């Protein structure tokens, strides 16, 4: 089974579970034996993804993966929310984050710059338009194929304790039911004690 077919099989299992909980499948990556599933609330939602939702998705997805076995060998399952500073990997990610400040690193120097930061004002299937301030105010159209890394930029307020959430299930050996749910460290909460929950069969 090819990497693409494995990915497609995983998405077919995961997407209905996420949709049933009225959440969006924001991203899915399977690389180096680690399956990373990122879920989010629909755009313009008043609340974010809860730890209980992440733990539930982890259990349901883990159960279906164990049953259908689309992944060869051992793997680690990680389920998380994208957090306030989100990685932008796909055209859909860019389109979803229009109006937000983004930081972009290009694959090579283009027009004298490799790193850009500004407000994302437009995006389609192949390009993103960034409103830059430095070195001079201007709008820059970037081909998504030239982007090495990109993320949204959140301005943390003093005393903020918000950060991305995650839940992880170790799937080696398979049929393990150990579930750990904890907030992933954010810029202001790296020293906080993690919250852990375990569920055993």
pLDDT of amino acid 191: 29
Band of residue 178 on the pLDDT scale cut at 50, 70, 90? very low
Per-residue pLDDT tens over the stretch 59-105: 999 999 999 888 878 889 999 999 889 999 999 999 999 999 999 99
pLDDT at 31 over 50: yes
Q: What is the pTM of this model?
A: 0.69
- Find out whether 104 and 70 touch, Cβ atoms under 8 Å: no
Considering the chain, what is the average pLDDT of its residues?
A: 80
Per-residue pLDDT tens over the stretch 146-173: 999 999 998 666 655 555 555 655 444 4
Which of 2.30.30.180, 2.30.30.40, 3.40.50.261, 3.40.190.10 is the CATH number of 91-152? Answer: 2.30.30.180
């Amino acid at each position: 089974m090819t990497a693409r077919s494995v990915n497609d099989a995983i998405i077919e299992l995961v997407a209905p579970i996420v949709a049933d909980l009225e959440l969006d499948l924001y991203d899915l990556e399977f690389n180096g034996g680690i399956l990373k599933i990122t879920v989010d609330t629909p755009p313009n939602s008043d609340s974010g993804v809860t730890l209980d939702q992440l733990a539930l998705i982890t259990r349901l997805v883990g159960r279906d993966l164990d049953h259908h076995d689309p992944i060869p060998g051992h793997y680690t399952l990680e389920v998380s929310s994208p957090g306030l500073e989100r990685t932008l990997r796909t055209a859909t990610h860019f389109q979803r984050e229009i109006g937000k400040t983004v930081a972009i690193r290009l694959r090579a120097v283009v027009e004298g710059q490799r790193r850009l930061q500004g407000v994302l004002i437009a995006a389609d299937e192949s390009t993103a338009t960034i409103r830059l301030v430095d070195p001079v105010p201007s709008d820059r159209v970037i081909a998504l194929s030239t982007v090495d890394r990109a993320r949204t930029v959140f301005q943390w307020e003093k005393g903020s304790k918000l950060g991305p959430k995650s839940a992880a299930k170790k799937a080696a050996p398979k049929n393990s039911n150990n579930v750990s749910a904890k907030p992933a460290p954010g810029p202001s909460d790296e020293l906080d004690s993690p919250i852990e929950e375990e569920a055993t069969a």
